Structure 1
Amino acid sequence: MTQSYLEHVNITVADADQAAAVLVDVFDWHIRWSGPARDGGYTVHVGTADQYIAVYRPRDGQSRDFPKGAPLNHLAIVVDNLDAVEAKVVARGLTPFNHGTYDPGRRFYFFDENGIEFEVVSYH
């Protein structure tokens, strides 16, 4: 059997640096790279050494509709301390909702400033 894992997700946002700052703050990630991107846009790769989210901002005046498609339900992030991460979400002025506890873990959701829904889950 081949072992595989998710390397990255690419999302379109209004302000890539601001969106990356939320991810750094809430999840204790780091900026892996930032720079020019397709069609005159700008991208920040934020995450861990092995996995990241590419936050893409189109050039000024360009539609935020990425030409490859737009459907996305949510991004799920596994954390060790759900309560500590929720406190960071609240401290950023974001609103956690839909808290749930069921096997095998606990979770909550929040929307960032770009309308992207994150599920935060802990299996501890």
Structure 2
Amino acid sequence: MPAILEHVNFTVSDPRATAAWMEKLFGWHIRWQGDAIAGGHTIHVGSDDHYLALYTPGKSMAAEGSNYTTVGGLNHIAVTVDDLDATEKAIKDHGFVTGNHADYEPGRRFYFHDTDGIEYEVVQYD
């Protein structure tokens, strides 16, 4: 049996705010939250089987340029949805700007950036 991806842990400026829009737009729920390393805080948000661990060290942080040119950088996070158009409308209504729409095998997709500059890909497979 191949390995199964359970979670991804990455740093955001405000885990509570990020988890809130993920709950609203992706239909996820908070699985756990609490103290983390170095005086930080982490929130696990996702489904019952998979989640994102949203970490903040609890002190001011600066972004480090483009992740696409940084070895070890996070390029984007992809989620699949059943209704791409409805999800895009909800994302736009939340105030995020969508772009880079594409329709190629195996599905349609678009991208957006959150308030931390993290890129998300939203895909609907046919």
2:87 equivalent among 79, 82, 85: 85
Structure 1 residues 62 and 98: CA distance shift in structure 2, 3 A: closer
In 1, Cα distance between equivalents of 2:25 and 2:60: 30
Equivalence for 1:30: 29
In 2, Cα distance between equivalents of 1:115 and 1:62: 13
Aligned positions, number:
120
Matching residue's letter, 1:10: N
CA RMSD of aligned residues (A): 1.7
In 2, Cα distance between equivalents of 1:64 and 1:112: 13
Q: CA deviation at 1:76?
A: 0.7
Give % identity. 48
User: Which stretches of structure 1, 4 residues or longer, exceed 4 Å deviation after superposition?
Assistant: 61-65
Structure 1 residues 62 and 93: CA distance shift in structure 2, 3 A: closer
Equivalence for 2:120: 118
Contact 1:57 1:64 in 2 (8 A): no
Equivalence for 1:43: 42
Q: What is the CA deviation profile of residues 70-112 of structure 1, one whole-angstrom value per residue up to 9, with x for unaligned ones?
A: 6011011111111111111101100010001011110000000
Q: Which blocks of at least 5 consecutive residues in structure 1 are unaligned?
A: none
Normalised by the length of structure 2, the TM-score is 0.88
Q: CA deviation at 1:31?
A: 0.4
Normalised by the length of structure 1, the TM-score is 0.90
Q: CA deviation at 1:26?
A: 1.1
SS at match of 2:109: strand
In 1, Cα distance between equivalents of 2:31 and 2:39: 20
Is residue 2:61 matched to residue 1:59?
A: no
In 1, Cα distance between equivalents of 2:82 and 2:6: 20
Contact 1:58 1:64 in 2 (8 A): no
Q: Which blocks of at least 5 consecutive residues in structure 2 are unaligned?
A: 65-70
Matching residue's letter, 1:28: G
